[in-house]
Amino acid sequence: MDKDKEIQNQDINIEEMQQEHTHGDIHTHLHAHAEHTHSHGGHHKHVHNAAEKKAVINRLSRVIGHLEAVKRMVERDEDCSEVLIQLAAVRSAINNTGKVVLKNHLNHCIVHAVEEGDEETIELLNQAIDKFVK
């Protein structure tokens, strides 16, 4: 995305953001506390709900802390079985965070993309899912 378009996306006011997420009879999302917008393939703008964004950031912070604790376990030569169990817990937390991001994306960007006939955004989601589940 070129810099002018990025700046333009950031300058959208609250009323425009609220209209952006009215999805006909499906559902309406009004994001009065949205923090930023981004565009998928130049086709539509998406506003991240501040609460959803904070929840994902909190999950990621917990994962980072957990992984740092596992690193300390290795540094202290703790039992390998315990390290493996904790690594499995970190992997599970990452996967669960991915599910939250995916659900948010489906509920916002993909609903809008389907309404707009934006097949590029849907294809990008398919590619992202393929990479995420590897």
- Tell me what the mean pLDDT of segment 90-113 comes to: 92
pLDDT of residue 46: 60
How many separate domains does the chain show? Answer: 1
Query: How far is the C-alpha of 19 from the C-alpha of 73, rounded, in Å?
Result: 50
For the stretch 36-72, what's the b/e string if a residue is b when 16 or more beta carbons lie within 10 angstroms of its beta carbon?
Answer: ebebbeeebbbbbbeebeeebeebeeebeebbeebee
The mean pLDDT value of the chain amounts to 75
Quickly count helices (H) and strands (E) in the chain.
6, 4
CATH number at residue 85: 1.20.58.1000
pLDDT of residue 25: 34
pLDDT of residue 54: 95
**φ and ψ at 127, to 5 degrees?**
-65, -45
| pLDDT tens digits along 15-56 | 333 333 333 333 333 333 344 444 445 445 566 788 999 999
Structure tokens at 75: 């540094």
pTM of this prediction?
0.62
pLDDT of residue 107: 87
Query: How far is the C-alpha of 84 from the C-alpha of 81, rounded, in Å?
Result: 5
By CB atoms closer than 10 A (0-12, 13-18, 19+), residue 5 is exposed
Tell me which residue range forms the domain holding 29: 3-132
Query: Which of 65, 69, 64, 62 has its CA nearest to residue 85?
Result: 69
